[in-house]
Amino acid sequence: MTNSLIMPRRNFIKNVAVAGAALSALPLFNVRAQNAGRKFKVGLVGCGGRGNGALENMIEGAKTLGYEIEVYTVADHFPDRANAAAKKYNIPSDRVFIGPKGYQQLVTQPIEIVLLATPPAFRPVHLEAGLNAGKHMFIEKPVAVDPPGARKVMELGDLAKQKGLSVVSGNQRRHQGSYLRNQYAIANGAIGKIVGGTVSWCGGALWYKERESGQSDADYMIRNWVSFSEMSGDHIVEQHVHNLDVANWFIGRPPQSALGFGGRARRKTGNQFDFFSLDLNYGEDCHIHSMCRQVNGTDGGVSEFFHGTEGTAFGGGKIQSDKLAQLKIPEFKTHDNPYVEEHIALLQSIVKGEPLNSARSIAESTLTAIMGRIACYTGHLVRWSDLTTNEKSPWYNLKMAPSAADFESGNVVAPKDGVCAIPGEA
């Protein structure tokens, strides 16, 4: 996906005399002049923390470009969530959709963009509905919890291309100036060929919800979705996907195989692991160590680090390279907040009629994390081909259940709390 090579918009608009930036900023300036005041009607599916945050980021991004966002419709499984968002944006009740099929009504509304911020288990089904209804899509990461789901999102990326629709995903590092700069430098040989590295997301426990008395299995799983692998993909998928995405992006391809281990030590609900450690084999003698942990009282760190044949680089940080000075690296001046920048990119792509499409790259990064999870749950070596081409593999058709379809049909049986995969047996 391309990204803006331009000045922060507000600064540019205030200060057109910055000669060095003027050329690269010209296309935006034209877009702004032609489309100032343009209003986008949007709808949000999943009115939780990130959904509300994404709306604010989109509104901020639009303001930066001189556009306006009307939050026209919202949908959520729960009325409390949907109604709170509706109240905030003055949305009349006939445009507020509740329950597991609410998204179906939302996508038929007269809106241009749909934002998806539900748990990842629902992403493939909701993305398909949005694209079939002809909407541009903002999709939070990760985009699936199992191999068929990730492959579906890859296919849907092709559908979006055919329809001329944008799909922008919420892996904000790809919209962050420091990462864009380093990716550019590495792609242009700054550290030679990447042969190794470490990517990690290690920190404390996330929130969780105990089951309430009388609560249905479906409601419990949705309120406590970050504890269930079927809903989140486990934290290697839900959280660590950000770092794995950087590895795939910088190396230029997904890994060929994964082997690793993990376990559960302190969780009280759900069936996820607490930690994962993986060897990702990218082929051509390149191995990346991936690790993630959610345990309070342990040392943490969120980073990406790469060894090249001619230098080293952190994801969005320091590059050690003798070649750096010779490379002409353009200035990647993005909005200070990459969560806003991703919406700027989406809105600009629509106005310019030049669709962006990150469906495949985020589906590949999601599938990389799923490959790691399967390797750690089972204790076996899992190949990329097992998940993408080898239909005889036991994992090719591995579908998590309950699935999005089960939530829609009301057939949800929650897995037992505290029962997790046992490597060697799973």
Ligand X SMILES: NC(=O)c1ccc[n+]([C@@H]2O[C@H](COP(=O)([O-])OP(=O)(O)OC[C@H]3O[C@@H](n4cnc5c(N)ncnc54)[C@H](O)[C@@H]3O)[C@@H](O)[C@H]2O)c1
Residue nearest to ligand X (CB): 48
What distance in Å separates the CA atoms of residue 130 and residue 344, rounded to the nearest whole number?
20
Q: Which of 245/386 has CB closer to ligand X?
A: 245
Least CB distance to ligand X at residue 101 (A): 8
Measured from the CB atom, is 51 or 308 closer to ligand X?
51
* Smallest gap from residue 266 Cβ to ligand X (A): 21
Q: Are 175 and 2 in contact (CB under 8 A)?
A: no
Instruction: Select 169 or 348, whichever has its Cβ closest to ligand X.
Output: 169
Which residue, 274 or 386, has its beta carbon nearer to ligand X? 274
In the complex, the smallest distance separating the C-beta of residue 172 from ligand X, rounded to whole angstroms, is 6
Q: Which is nearer to ligand X, 195 or 206 (CB)?
A: 206
Retrieve residue 156's tokens.
């849907």
- Find, among 282, 350, 342, 289, the residue nearest to 140 by Cα: 342
Provide, rounded to whole angstroms, the least separation between the CB of residue 419 and ligand X: 23
Q: Is the peptide bond before 27 cis (omega within 30 degrees of 0)?
A: no
Q: Please report, as ranges, the residues that interact with ligand X according to CB under 6 A.
A: 45-51, 75-78, 81, 100, 102-103, 117-120, 122, 140-141, 170, 172, 222, 238, 407
User: Which is nearer to ligand X, 283 or 300 (by Cβ)?
Assistant: 300
Give the integer Cα–Cα distance in Å for 343 and 300: 30
**Are 221 and 412 spatial neighbours (Cβ–Cβ below 8 Å)?**
yes
DSSP for residue 210 = P
For residue 90, the minimal CB distance to ligand X (Å) is 19
Residue 211: φ, ψ to 5°: -70, 135
CA 393 to chain centre: 27
Instruction: For residue 56, give the nearest of 349, 343, 350 by alpha carbon.
Output: 343
CB of 97 to ligand X, least distance (A): 8
27 CB burial (10 A radius; 0-12, 13-18, 19+): middle
Q: How far is the CB of 263 from ligand X (least distance, A)?
A: 22
Cβ 117 to ligand X shortest distance, Å = 5
Which lies closer to ligand X via its Cβ, residue 47 or residue 345?
A: 47
Kindly give, in sequence order, each residue whose CB lies less than 8 Å from that of residue 111, ignoring residues fewer than 6 positions away.
Answer: 41, 42, 43, 72, 73, 135
Residues 6+ apart with CB under 8 A from 323: 189, 190, 191, 310, 311
Q: For ligand X, which is the closer residue by CB, 165 or 404?
A: 404
Distance of CA 398 to the CA centre of its chain: 21
